[in-house]
Structures are given as structure tokens and as C-alpha cells.
Amino acid sequence: MKEYSGRLISNRQVASETYIMSIDCGLESYKPGQFVMLKSPSSGVFLRRPFGIMELKDGILALLYKIRGQGTLSMSTLTEEDTVSIEAPLGNGFNLNYEGQVVYVAGGAGLPPLISLHSHLKKGNFLFGVKTESEIPFDYIPGKTTIATEDGTYGFKGFVTDVLKEIKIEKPLTIYACGPAQMLKQVSDIAKNIGAKCQVSYEERMACGFGVCSGCVVKTVSGNKSVCVNGPVFNAEEILWR
């Protein structure tokens, strides 16, 4: 992990309360599933905010994020030439040694790490779920993605986990998932029932990114673990789901 000084190239809205930020920061490498902690003097926010890495190319970092509170709301107001401080790369990424068929399951703000993973593995079926059509960042959805909206305004009507239950399963199967905890629990249950391997990128509020503050603890079969240090990626069977 290093601290980088970055300059914003762009920060634009791509869907309802969803933005993509491009930063020239000099970061050279990362593993899909890792994240950054970002802070900007211009935002007026004291603590850094975690952002999953969607893409890194020639030192340009791309972060796709949703407004979820005052911190991300302030970040959405940053403009070209604003500077940011970035600590990266952080956390443990996905295990890239998949078996057989690959399925990605993203819900809500869970797209970035799975888009990154998909671009590395270059295979697999992509499933994405949101509440309504206006929340879909169409320009960044991988090809051949099955989209589910809870209100039926686009694609499959229902939850993305309903789509997962209906897809044709070819064994062995590896499922990668990122999204709300309740969605991840359901994906984990489905994977267990069909005998699939499953890795989840667990979303949790973070303050430090180093495991010092214990603010992002998740209960696992081997005790409490900090998501920022021991995750954010876990094998699904490790987590004691609530």
C-alpha cells in the first residue's frame, strides 16, 4: 500500500445517484476486488472513503460509485483539476483460480469489483440487480448481462437472486458476488444448495482501511475479522450470516 496524490480527469453522473470518477494517480497495479481509501481537501470531509476499483489503465484509476451519504455526496461535487489523496491498493482481492462455469452476481453498488474481475477473467455470465431502470449505468454494464429490476421497469422483474436460481447450471460452478449483505446471504445459500464455490466482496462501512479502528468487523467461523484487512473478499462459507 502507498499513498498517491491524484488529479481528477472527470467526475460525471452516469445513472441515478451514480457517478464515475477518473483520476490520474500513478497507481501501477492491483488485484480485482481490492479498493482505495480516498480523501479530497475540496470535499470538506475529514475521513477517507472506500471505493472499489473498477479499472486501472496507464495510471488512470476509474471508480464507479453511488451516493450513499454525506461523504460520497461531497465527492460527487468534485470537478476537473481537483486533487485527491489515495491510499491503495487495499484489502484482499478475489481468488482468480475459478473452476468451470463462472457467474458474477452484482447488486446495487456492487458493480465495480465484479466489472474489474470480469475484465481480467474474460468469461462468465453477468447478473445485475437494481430497484429501477434509472439506477442502471448502461455504458459500464458488461456485454450479455442479465439485468433485474425490482419494479420491472427493465429486464427481469424481481431480484437478481431470482435470476440466479433460474440460470442453467453447469458443474463445476464458481460464483463471484458483491452487493448488499442480504443479497450476499441469499447468493451464499444458493451456492451451498447447488454445490458451487462462492466468493463474496462484503460491503461494510470503513473508517481507517487498516484494521486499526475495528469499525468494519464481520463475524466469521474463525472469529471476528476486519473487512478492510481480511477482506473485502471472503469465501462465502466463512461468514456467519445474520
Torsion 234-236-240-242 (CA) sign: positive
111 and 155 inside one domain: yes
pLDDT at 104: 98
Q: How confident is the model at residue 21 (pLDDT cuts 50, 70, 90)?
A: very high
- Alpha-helix residue ranges (DSSP H) falling in 1-148: 70-75, 111-121
Average pLDDT of the chain, as a whole number: 93
Q: Are both 105 and 150 inside the same structural domain?
A: yes
The CATH number of the domain holding residue 184 is 3.40.50.80
Domain contains 187: yes
Amino acid at 42: S
pLDDT at 44: 63
Q: How confident is the model at residue 143 (pLDDT cuts 50, 70, 90)?
A: confident
Q: Is the pLDDT of residue 204 over 90?
A: no
At residue 45, the pLDDT reads 65
Q: What is the pLDDT of residue 4?
A: 95
171 versus 31: which is more confidently predicted?
31
77 & 140 share domain: no
Domain that holds residue 18: 2-90
Is 51 in the same domain as 7? yes
**Neighbouring C-alpha atoms within 13 Å toward the C-beta of 199:** 23
State pTM to two decimals.
0.95
In which band, very low, low, confident or very high, does the pLDDT at 43 lie, cut at 50, 70 and 90? low
Same domain for 14 and 57, yes or no, is: yes
Q: Residue 171, Cα to own-chain centre: how many angstroms?
A: 26
User: Is residue 53 a part of any domain in this protein?
Assistant: yes
What mean pLDDT comes out for the span 81-95?
94
From 42-56, 74-88, 125-139, the region with the lowest mean pLDDT: 42-56
Q: How far apart are CA 180 and CA 241, in angstroms?
A: 12
Amino acid at 121: L
Say what the pLDDT of residue 178 is: 98
For residue 214, pLDDT beyond 80? no
